[in-house]
Each structure stands twice: as structure tokens, then as C-alpha cells.
């Protein structure tokens, strides 16, 4: 899986991305199809297919802490932002490597479509 998975390849540096933050277990990079003035993805370095497959809760904690850092660095922590994990078909997941979307920089609608 890791050989062919897009986000594994980005995490390894095989495919370029605009990386804006990283820690030991995760990286954050700008989404190629931005839906808001700030739109980045937080991705674990290890392959986890979706949130359904997560077994290590500390990994999600590391993702959340990196998202928090990105929100601060991007200047949206106080105005507000969203951390979204699309999961499987009805959740709108298109890349099957766990990732959280950081969205902010404008007022975000609710409920989502």
C-alpha cells in the first residue's frame, strides 16, 4: 500500500507538496484544491487507511496538535477554523490515507453539504 498510496509518497518526499509543518509522526501540507483561504491537510507518516482503521489514539492526538500549530501559524486560531476528517464514500473521502482538513480564513457554512 505504502508504495502506491499518494499521501505515503508525499510523506516520504517522493511527490512534492508545500509542507508547512511537521512533527515526528505527521506532516501538514497545503491542499492542492483549496476550498478556503487556508486549506491544509494533516497526514500521519505511517499508513492508516481511514479513521475507521485507527487503532492508536495517540496518533490522532499528534495530528490534532499539529493542526493546532498550523492554525496558529496561519493566523486563524482566534477567528476560527475547522478540522474535518472525511471518512469513506458518504463522508467524501477520496484519498484512502487518513488525513484531517484544516479549513479557515473565511466563515464556514453549517451544515456541510
Q: Which residues bind ligand DGP (CB under 6 A)?
A: 6, 17, 29-33, 41, 86, 92-95
Pick 41 or 66: Cβ nearer ligand DGP: 41
What's the closest the beta carbon of residue 18 comes to ligand DGP, in angstroms? 7
Q: Is 97 a catalytic site residue?
A: no
3-state DSSP assignment of residue 58: helix
What's the closest the beta carbon of residue 65 comes to ligand DGP, in angstroms? 20
Pick 3 or 78: Cβ nearer ligand DGP: 3
Of 39, 47, 97, 99, catalytic? 99
d(CA 9, CA 98): 13
Which residues lie below 8 Å from residue 85, measured CB to CB, with a gap of 6+?
A: 51, 91, 98, 99, 100, 101
**Residues written for the chain:** 113
Cα distances from 98 to residues 37, 58, 87, in angstroms, run 22, 14, 8
- Find the helix or strand (DSSP H, E) in which 100 lies: strand 100-104
What's the closest the beta carbon of residue 56 comes to ligand DGP, in angstroms? 20
Pick 17 or 76: Cβ nearer ligand DGP: 17
Q: Could you give the residue numbers annotated as active site?
A: 99
Amino acid at each position: 500500500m505504502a508504495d502506491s498510496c499518494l499521501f505515503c509518497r508525499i510523506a516520504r518526499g517522493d511527490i512534492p507538496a508545500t509542507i508547512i509543518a511537521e512533527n515526528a509522526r505527521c506532516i501538514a501540507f497545503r491542499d492542492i484544491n483549496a476550498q478556503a483561504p487556508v486549506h491544509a491537510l494533516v497526514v500521519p507518516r505511517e499508513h492508516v487507511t481511514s479513521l475507521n482503521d485507527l487503532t492508536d489514539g495517540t496518533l490522532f492526538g499528534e495530528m490534532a496538535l499539529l493542526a493546532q500549530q498550523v492554525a496558529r501559524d496561519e493566523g486563524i486560531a482566534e477567528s476560527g477554523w475547522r478540522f474535518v476528517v472525511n471518512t469513506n464514500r458518504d463522508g467524501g473521502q477520496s484519498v484512502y490515507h487518513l488525513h484531517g482538513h484544516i479549513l479557515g480564513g473565511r466563515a464556514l457554512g453549517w451544515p456541510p453539504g
